[in-house]
Amino acid sequence: MKPFDVVGVGLNATDTVLVVPQFPACGGKAPFTQEFYSVGGQVATAMVTCARLGLSAKYIGTIGDDERGRIQLESLRASGINIDDVQQRHGCPNQSAYIVVDQSTGERTIFWNRPDCLTISPDAITEEQITGALLLHIDGHDTPAVARAAQIARAHGIPVTVDVDTIYPGFENVLPSVDYLIASSEFPSRWTGIADPFGALESLRHTFGLKVAAMTLGAYGALACTISGFTYSPAFVLDCLDTTGAGDVFHGAFCYSVLQKMPLAAALELSNAMAALNCIKMGARGNIATLEDARALIAGGQRREDPQVANRAGR
């Protein structure tokens, strides 16, 4: 029996959030109504979500030794995930961002920085770290390190999920070892050069032999492609305060769904529900819900779909 259900290799961040009544026009200015620290990061938040859903989760990454790093480390420790292989880099600030949340819509604008001293070395990734889990989740940032992690997982028959929002140099070395790609809405077309999202997802799936090639659609849910065709899952409609971290929570819920061997439609529905519930409070991990909360939303929640996407996917 393996010690962990899921292990994640990738980013964490500690952000400063500014809440403004409405984002100003370029060159303008606006008052802010709130300012606070918020812990987040793609893979770290996904692992916290996995733990919230009852999985045993481990996070592998680097953290600075400044105040932001201390806040992140305390948050991860309190979440119950394993952080034995988190490296704290001395004399190095943690990854951070300034996130401006538009109170009128809940949408956010991000200005971020990750110092080079936080880079994860591929030499730091060992077989024991990866083979100790049933599933590996990665992002695309430290490409050589996550490529090594994914290659180890593939060699041992461990499924790999990836969260990618932009094109990283060398990412072509990662994709051949990935089983489940869930990207931002922009990534598939940027990577393939195919403007049509359906065509772009099919190209990615076919080229790399992916089990699932999917993209999140923000307020309209998620679209996924498998060898059997397309599956579209509309988003849930709630009073959104802050969309920060919604995608990261989506990925954590999807990891849970893979391990539970849920049908794809149910997996996307659960992931959409968890993402939506996180948006009703401020912060990247502002409201990581329980499985019961998500099931209640699925049972009675209002959905928002993109009619064109739904029609083409045969929904």
Using one digit for the tens of pLDDT, what is the confidence trace for 243-283? 889 999 999 999 999 999 999 999 999 999 999 999 999 99
**pTM to 2 decimal places:** 0.95
In the numeric block, which tokens belong to residue 297?
């939303």
d(CA 165, CA 141): 10
Q: Which of 255, 281, 254, 278 is nearest to 268 (CA)?
A: 254
What is the mean pLDDT of the segment spanning 140-149?
A: 97
Q: Is the pLDDT score of 306 beyond 90?
A: yes
- The string of DSSP letters for 226-247 reads ETTEEEEEPEE----S--TTHH
d(CA 42, CA 26): 28
CA distances from 103 to 22, 24, 80, 276, 277 (A): 6, 12, 32, 16, 17
Question: What is the number of other CB atoms lying within 10 angstroms of the CB of residue 75?
Answer: 19
Q: How confident is the model at residue 106 (pLDDT cuts 50, 70, 90)?
A: confident
Using one digit for the tens of pLDDT, what is the confidence trace for 41-73? 999 999 999 999 999 999 999 999 999 999 999
d(CA 158, CA 179): 9
Using one digit for the tens of pLDDT, what is the confidence trace for 182-219? 999 999 999 999 999 999 999 999 999 999 999 999 99
Q: How confident is the model at residue 298 (pLDDT cuts 50, 70, 90)?
A: very high
Q: φ, ψ for residue 151 (rounded to 5)? A: -65, -40
User: Are the beta carbons of 245 and 285 closer than 8 angstroms?
Assistant: yes
Average pLDDT, the chain: 96
User: Are the beta carbons of 284 and 38 closer than 8 angstroms?
Assistant: yes
User: Domain limits of the chain?
Assistant: 4-313
Q: How confident is the model at residue 121 (pLDDT cuts 50, 70, 90)?
A: very high
Q: How confident is the model at residue 108 (pLDDT cuts 50, 70, 90)?
A: confident
Q: Which CATH entry fits the domain spanning 4-313: 3.40.630.10, 3.30.70.360, 1.10.10.410, 3.40.1190.20?
A: 3.40.1190.20
Q: How confident is the model at residue 296 (pLDDT cuts 50, 70, 90)?
A: very high
Q: Which residues contact 269 (CB under 8 A, 6 or more apart)?
A: 233, 298
Q: Which residues contact 259 (CB under 8 A, 6 or more apart)?
A: 5, 6, 55, 134, 135
User: Are the beta carbons of 274 and 289 closer than 8 angstroms?
Assistant: yes
* Orientation of helix 42-52 relative to helix 246-259, angle to 10°: 50
How are beta strands 229-233 and 222-226 bridged, if at all? Answer: antiparallel
Q: Order across the sheet with 160-164: list the strands.
A: 57-60, 4-9, 133-138, 160-164, 180-183, 212-216, 222-226, 229-233
